[in-house]
Amino acid sequence: MDNEHRNAHHLSLPQRLAFSVGHVFNDLCAGFWFTYLLIFMKLVNGFESSTAGTLMLVGQVADGIATPFIGIECDRSFDWWFCRYGRRKTWHLVGTLCVLLSFPFIFHLCIYCDNSPQTSQMVYYSAFIIIFQFGWAAVQISHLSLIPDLTPVSSERVELNAWRYACTVFANITVFILMFITLGMDNSSGDAITRRDAVAFEEVAFLILGIGLVFSTIFHIGVRERPAPGSLGASASADSSDGSGSSSSADLVKQQARPMVWSNWFREAQFYKVGLLYMGTRLTINLTMVYIPNYLVESLHLQKKSVAYIPLVIYISGFISSFLMKFINVRLGKRLTYLIGACLTLGACAWIFFGTHNELFKKYGIFGVSVVIGMSSTTILITSLAITNDLIGSNTDSGAFVFGAMSFVDKISNGVSVMVIENLKSSIANQENYYRDVLTFVCGGAISLSLIALALLTKGKIGNLKRNGD
């Protein structure tokens, strides 16, 4: 009976492929958002650094607030007509429409108001940013939560996550290639990014919409969501699954287990330690990707095409090194693997600080440091996620809350950091070296927080909790 149950839910190759591309639209937009928002707002729109930083904060706060709300609503079952389409797919569709209708306006000069005061334009852009971030969160959460709904087979769930990550790599590489081609074809503003490059950003934004819409359509056509318990059609399928009406042994075990209640996580010291490690990791990676383009054009004075090909080098090197992560984690353990990645990050920060004014660094060294950044970012990100999974352990019933809490702190801290960094810029005398110092000391400080958390986690087994629903 178990084999029949597994075969009944076995996913075909087209279904796996259709699911895997369901987050490509989000990944395309995220790559463009984090890497180029500040560049567009400051160098193309002519906004002050503080205004650009505030817009980034608005987006991160909107995403952080929307995440728990959508997570709760996405889990609820309703007997409404659209729930026959699937509660996860319904939220995915709503999110896709929000992104589709808002994203192009973010990377477009203010329509009929480009000569208005910055405060007025900030309200204009904030409205579209909030809609975009709400839609982005809806797509992300619904897509992730769909995995256990599609298949009960553990190996298939792992495979779906792996394919999903491969599509993320494809999406980010696509963004950087599009920017490289678009900026390379437009020589009207010379080597510096100016207001005349607005067309290039607008074109890439619309290309992202077109590509993303194609893959989202494939997802909605190719993926069929099973009815949620308690919704229309769910009871009928449940009745036909077991005519005896008795519970399976797996159900009895689940009923007897006492899952970790979400509120009990706040009583666990490891929850805060892992949270600090995860926050430091995401701060390091996100701030690096946000400020690498600013560093290239304002500190190194490289050609504008560098804001496309340097992030591309970072991402490709990170992708290649990701294939070694499973082997390294098994052989060295997660703590030592993370320590190696953190040391590589600190090495990259030092290399940037001492190499910035060296001509050889500008020509060749920047590629070397980009490779190190890609390797270290992949190492600390994958290992931090593995440590978070170890923390959750068998408490999967509240696992979504753990990831949601980590994500909330991550998004808020990133938004606040960017706003503070941009507001401080005007008070710094040495403007040329400002973003060099941000990449050196702020990113170095963020990874140092993670190292402190790692040191606090050296005692005891991660996931060995005091409370498990008691």
Tokens coding 68: 């728990």
Single residue among 205, 226, 247 that ends a domain in this structure: 226
Do residue 359 and residue 217 come from a single domain? no
Do residue 53 and residue 128 come from a single domain? yes
Mean pLDDT comparison of 53-67, 386-400, 435-449, highest-scoring range: 435-449
Nearest CA to 30 out of 214, 130, 131, 172 is that of 172
Q: How confident is the model at residue 236 (pLDDT cuts 50, 70, 90)?
A: very low
Do residue 185 and residue 269 come from a single domain? no
Do residue 357 and residue 286 come from a single domain? yes
Q: How confident is the model at residue 156 (pLDDT cuts 50, 70, 90)?
A: low
Number of domains in the chain: 2
Whether pLDDT at 297 is above 50: yes
Tokens coding 203: 């074109």
pLDDT tens, residue by residue, 388-415: 878 877 775 666 677 777 878 888 899 8
The residues, any chain, with a CB within 8 Å of residue 336's CB and separated by 6 or more, are: none
Is 216 among the domain residues?
yes
DSSP 48-105: -HHHHHHHHHHHHHHHHHHHHHHHHHHH----SGGGGS-HHHHHHHHHHHHHHHHHHH
Do residue 214 and residue 278 come from a single domain? no
Q: Three-state SS across 143-179?
A: HHHHHHHHCCCHHHHHHHHHHHHHHHHHHHHHHHHHH
Do residue 384 and residue 439 come from a single domain? yes
For residue 322, what is the domain's CATH number?
A: 1.20.1250.20
Tokens coding 422: 């941009």
CA dist., res. 253 & res. 248, Å (int): 9
Whether pLDDT at 204 is above 90: yes
Do residue 265 and residue 216 come from a single domain? no
Single residue among 226, 248, 283 that ends a domain in this structure: 226
CA dist., res. 80 & res. 141, Å (int): 21
Burial of 249 (0-12, 13-18, 19+ CB in 10 A): exposed
Is 290 among the domain residues?
yes
Is 128 among the domain residues?
yes
Do residue 321 and residue 178 come from a single domain? no
Is 353 among the domain residues?
yes
Tokens coding 246: 């008795």
**Structure pTM?**
0.77
Do residue 332 and residue 399 come from a single domain? yes
Do residue 268 and residue 200 come from a single domain? no
Q: Is the dihedral of CA 153, 470, 76, 234 positive or negative?
A: positive
Q: Any idea what the Cα angle at residue 386 is, between residues 383 and 391, rounded to 5°? A: 130
Is 238 among the domain residues?
no
Half-sphere exposure of 244 (CA within 13 A, CB side): 4
CA dist., res. 154 & res. 352, Å (int): 43
CA dist., res. 115 & res. 180, Å (int): 29
Is 10 among the domain residues?
no
Q: How confident is the model at residue 243 (pLDDT cuts 50, 70, 90)?
A: very low
Q: How confident is the model at residue 421 (pLDDT cuts 50, 70, 90)?
A: very high
Single residue among 226, 251, 269 that ends a domain in this structure: 226
Is 175 among the domain residues?
yes
Do residue 188 and residue 268 come from a single domain? no
Tokens coding 269: 């010291």
pLDDT tens, residue by residue, 300-318: 999 888 888 999 899 888 8
Count other Cβ atoms within 10 Å, centred on residue 1.
8
Whether pLDDT at 416 is above 70: yes
Whether pLDDT at 460 is above 90: no
Structural domain boundaries, residue 307: 260-459
Least confident of 316-330, 354-368, 385-399: 385-399
* pLDDT confidence of residue 33: 92
The runs of H, that is alpha helices, within 186-233 are 198-222
Is residue 65 helix, strand or coil?
helix
Residue 196 near residue 188, CB atoms below 8 Å: yes
Is 246 among the domain residues?
no
- Cα distances (Å, whole numbers) of residue 15 to 24, 261, 354, 372: 15, 34, 50, 36
Do residue 185 and residue 288 come from a single domain? no
